């Protein structure tokens, strides 16, 4: 579809100024961090002279514009620099850690959807009833919890007290070995290679962090489903369908829900990118080796390259995601045209 391709291209071009602005702002922000990486990495007993030596080695003695140009040059070659904390190239670090974050976020989102769609529909069909109030209270409670608090509480109850959940130490317990990397998603990779035991282990590790994240995503999704369903249910074509004698279920699912999904999908995209950024805290609690925990650690150590790499990656993903949603939007509702 050449029309679609050109539209996508135009959209991507349109996003370039935003990405460029993100690159500049991030660069300035990281340089404004209080830490002096040279002093930090000069080791425990550095004197002023060896700190200067390290500064030269890191290229931090040059004026900011020069540093920025050097950074742009590296970026143009796909280089995001080297993390001082892990000692690895940032691009390799992010590539290795991104699947962990995305897998966790997707699982959290799936859990949230599984609860919020039925809840939202139920609430919309009986507005003002106890179901409606319950849906509101549950979803609002979910979004009112600080995620790190929920996470710690879940760990305490399900791992420490009850022993149902595995130890909160990353994507796999100590005995399992990671599946062969194909997509980087342990759940998918283990299924493809037929390592069902690994699948179970990975899934077990995922439950608590995904639940923590999912709780947070519950509110916007339930709300949007309810609101959108309410709107659709009150519209003429539903009344017509009802009057035409179609069964309640058919009206709800085939007519109402399908049309109500549009705004939900938009919300889904927003929630996804929001969760991906917000799961830094969840990753910290569950020792999850994702990009969020990576960014926190780098930020605390004033390790510029990973922070820049992380934010840039997230910005690009955000743009890509929005584009995908727009396309999806068009698929669900052919009336909507993708605007450039």
Partner 1 sequence: MSPALRHMRYVLAENPVTAGAFVGFALLIALALFGPMIAPFDPLASDTDIALQPPSLAHWFGTDHLGRDILSRVIVAARLDMQIALAAVALSFVFGSLLGVLAGWYGGGIDRAIGRVVDTIMAFPLFVLAMGIVAALGNTVGNIIYATAIINLPFYARMARAETNARRDAGFVEAARLSGNSDARILAAQVFPNILPPMMVQVSLNLGYAILNAAGLSFIGLGVRPPTPEWGIMVAEGATYIVSGEWWIALFPGLVLMAAVFCFNLLGDGLRDIIDPRRRT
Partner 2 sequence: MNAMLRGLCLATALATCAVPALAQSRDETLLVVVESGTNSLDIHAVGANPASYGVVWNIYDRLLSYGTKTMPDGSLSYDHTNIKPELAESWKFTADDEITFYLRKDAKFHDGTPITAKDVKWSFDRMVAVGGFPTFQMKAGSLEKPEQFIAVDDHTFRVKLLRKDKLTVPDLGVPVPIVLNSELIKKHATEKDPWGLEWSKLNDAGGGAYKVESWKPGEQLVLARYDDWKSGPLPKLKKVVIRDVPSAGNRRALVERGDVDLSFDLPPKDSQELAKGGKVKVTGTPIENSLWYTGMGVKQPPFDNVKVRQAVAYALPYQKIMDAVVYGRAIPMFGGPATPTKAVWPQPSPYNTDMAKARKLLAEAGFPNGFETVIHINQGVASLSEPMATLVQESLGQIGIKATINKVPGANWRAAMLKKDMPLFIDTFAGWLNYPDYYFFWGYHGQNAVFNVMSYQNPEMDKLIDASRFETDAKKYEDQVKGFVKMAWDDVPRAPLFQYYLDAAMGKNVQGYTYWFHRAIDFRSISKK
Residues that bind partner 2 (rule: CB under 8 A) add up to a total of 61
| SS3 category, 223 | helix
- Closer residue to partner 2 (CB): 104 or 218: 104
Contact (Cβ atoms closer than 8 angstroms) between residue 81 and residue 90? yes
Rule CB under 8 A: say whether 33 interacts with partner 2.
Answer: yes
Site for partner 1 in 227-246 (CB under 8 A): 234
| SS3 category, 54 | helix
Any idea what the Cα angle at residue 272 is, between residues 267 and 274, rounded to 5°?
95
Cα 302–chain centre separation: 23
Cα separation, 286 vs 293, whole angstroms: 10
Contact (Cβ atoms closer than 8 angstroms) between residue 199 and residue 178? no
Residue from 152, 191, 270, 317 that binds partner 2 (CB under 8 A)? 152
Smallest separation, CB 302 to partner 2 (Å): 4
Rule CB under 8 A: say whether 22 interacts with partner 1.
Answer: yes
Pattern 35-74, binding to partner 1, x per CB under 8 A?
----------------------------------------
Rule CB under 8 A: say whether 25 interacts with partner 1.
Answer: yes
Residues 6+ apart with CB under 8 A from 213: 104, 105, 107, 108, 109, 111, 112, 147, 275, 278, 279, 282
Whose structure tokens read 């990009």?
291
Residue from 146, 239, 250, 336 that binds partner 1 (CB under 8 A)? 146
Smallest separation, CB 280 to partner 1 (Å): 6
Stretch that binds partner 1, among 47-55, 61-69, 191-199, 314-322 (CB under 8 A): 314-322
Residues that bind partner 1 (rule: CB under 8 A) add up to a total of 52
- Closer residue to partner 2 (CB): 130 or 175: 175
Rule CB under 8 A: say whether 35 interacts with partner 2.
Answer: yes
- Closer residue to partner 2 (CB): 198 or 273: 198
Query: If you write DSSP's letter for every residue of 149-206 in order, what string do you get?
Result: HHHHHHIIIIIIIS--SPPSSSSS-TT--PPPPSSS-HHHHHHHTT-HHHHHHHHHHH
Token couple for 152: 């710690």
Smallest separation, CB 55 to partner 2 (Å): 11
- Closer residue to partner 1 (CB): 30 or 198: 30
Site for partner 2 in 265-284 (CB under 8 A): 284
Residue from 197, 253, 316, 336 that binds partner 2 (CB under 8 A)? 197
Residue from 20, 196, 237, 240 that binds partner 2 (CB under 8 A)? 196
Cβ burial, residue 9 (10 Å; 0-12/13-18/19+):
exposed
Smallest separation, CB 89 to partner 2 (Å): 10
């Amino acid at each position: 579809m050449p029309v679609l391709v050109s539209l996508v291209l135009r959209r991507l071009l349109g996003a370039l100024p935003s990405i460029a602005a993100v690159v500049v702002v991030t660069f300035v922000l990281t340089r404004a961090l209080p830490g002096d990486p040279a002093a930090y990495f000069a080791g425990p007993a550095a004197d002023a002279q060896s700190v200067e030596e390290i500064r030269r080695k890191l290229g931090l003695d040059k004026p900011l514009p020069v540093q920025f140009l050097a950074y742009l040059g590296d970026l143009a070659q796909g280089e995001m620099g080297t993390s001082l904390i892990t000692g690895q190239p940032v691009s390799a670090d992010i590539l290795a850690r991104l699947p962990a974050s995305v897998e966790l976020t997707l699982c959290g989102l799936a859990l949230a959807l599984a609860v919020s769609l039925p809840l939202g529909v139920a609430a919309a069909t009986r507005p003002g009833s106890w179901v409606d109030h319950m849906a509101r209270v549950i979803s609002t409670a979910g979004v009112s919890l600080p995620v790190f608090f929920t996470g710690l509480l879940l760990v305490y109850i399900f791992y420490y007290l009850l022993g149902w959940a595995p130890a909160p130490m990353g994507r796999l317990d100590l005995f399992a070995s990671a599946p062969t990397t194909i997509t980087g998603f342990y759940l998918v990779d283990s299924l493809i290679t037929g390592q069902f035991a690994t699948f179970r282990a990975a899934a077990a590790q995922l439950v608590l962090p995904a639940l923590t994240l999912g709780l947070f995503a519950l509110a916007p999704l339930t709300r949007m489903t309810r609101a959108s369903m309410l709107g659709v249910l009150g519209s003429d074509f539903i009344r017509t369908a009802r009057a035409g004698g179609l069964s309640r279920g058919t009206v709800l699912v085939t007519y109402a829900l399908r049309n109500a999904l549009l705004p939900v999908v938009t919300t889904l995209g927003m929630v996804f990118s929001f969760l991906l950024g917000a799961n830094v805290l969840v990753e910290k609690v569950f020792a999850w080796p994702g990009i969020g925990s990576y960014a926190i650690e780098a930020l605390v150590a004033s390790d510029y390259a990973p922070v820049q790499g992380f934010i840039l990656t997230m910005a690009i993903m955000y743009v890509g995601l929005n584009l995908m949603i727009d396309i999806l939007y068009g698929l669900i509702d052919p009336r909507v045209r993708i605007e450039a």
